[in-house]
Structures are given as C-alpha cells and as structure tokens.
Amino acid sequence: MKRNIGAFGAVLILTTIPLAASEKIEGAFGQKIGDVFDLSTAVSTNTWVDGRVFYGIRPQEPYEAFTKYRVLVTPTTKRIYCITAEGEPGHLLAAKRMQNTVMYFLSKKYGAESKVASSLDERTICDGDMCVRTFLIDGVLKIEYTSQSLATTAAKELLERDVKAVNPKGL
C-alpha cells in the first residue's frame, strides 16, 4: 500500500527538524560572557537582596524591544556571567508577540529551542554551558544570556565574600 504524505506532511516534517546553530552563544549588546567587566563603563550599579551586584550598561546596538540593559559579574574576579535586557511594561499579548519575534531571530542565529521550560512564558536555547532565555513577567519581556559555570562561580565567590564579612563567634 502506497502512502502519500502530501505537502502538509512534508511541511510538518521539515518544520520539526532542528536547525543547526550557525553561531555560538557568547554574549550580546556589545558584552561577552567571561570577559572581565570594565566597571568604568557602567551607567548604574545596583544590588539585589541576595547580594548579587548588577551594572547598567549602554548597548552598542540596542534592540527595539528592550530599554534596560545590565550585566552581572562574579563578585571577586568581575567576570561577566549574565547579560540581561528588559522592555517596558505593556500588554501581555504584545509582549508575547515580541517574544515570538525575538525567539525567531535567536533560533536562526543559535539553533533550535530547548524543550524544557519552567513555564509557557519561558523559552530557552542552550549551547553547552551557555544559554539564552526569554521570559515574560507582568507583561515585560526579558532576555538573559548566561554561562551556567560562571553563575556557579559567582555563587561561590559571593558565599566566600559573605563568610569573610561575618563573625562566626557565638554560633
């Protein structure tokens, strides 16, 4: 018995084949993961409640969906381990539409999306240790480029810094 999958079947098969990544995930917005961050280029400095410090940056080539750009660096060695950007609050459907557009370009550049996501509003592409993730929070589109190993190094350096700052007597 002969089966004809037809045009729809061919399109379905072609669209499910992952694209090979043409570029490695190395960074974005003029910053490279793993580089030592030049603190003099920061336009702002802030600290999250957990002690992580992030620096506001001016991107070399801003992307229309984003208005705030930041880097997170390892506390001691000041190596960039995460580059983030976010847009302005807006309607969730508009942010989702922009996320689809951003992910279209990222998948063309870096390859197919990973299948694992913690929510429907999170989409990720990984290449070994490096990942780029887009997600939506309260109608705001955010993007993060992260080195998992350098994020681990940052956590260790932060703990070492905190341990040195605390007097353990009385414990």
List the domain boundaries for the chain.
22-165
Q: What is the pLDDT of residue 162?
A: 87
Work out the average pLDDT over 156-170.
88
* Tens-digit pLDDT profile for residues 93-152: 899 999 999 999 999 999 998 876 666 689 999 999 999 999 999 899 999 999 999 999
Query: What is the tens place of the pLDDT at every residue in 5-32?
Result: 444 333 333 333 444 547 999 999 999 9
- What is the per-residue burial (b if ≥16 Cβ within 10 Å, else e) of 148-169? eebbebbbebbeeeeeeeeeee
Provide the CA 34 distance to its chain's centre, in angstroms.
14
Mapped onto helix, strand or coil, the DSSP state of residue 43 is coil
Q: What is the pTM of this model?
A: 0.82
Average pLDDT, the chain: 85
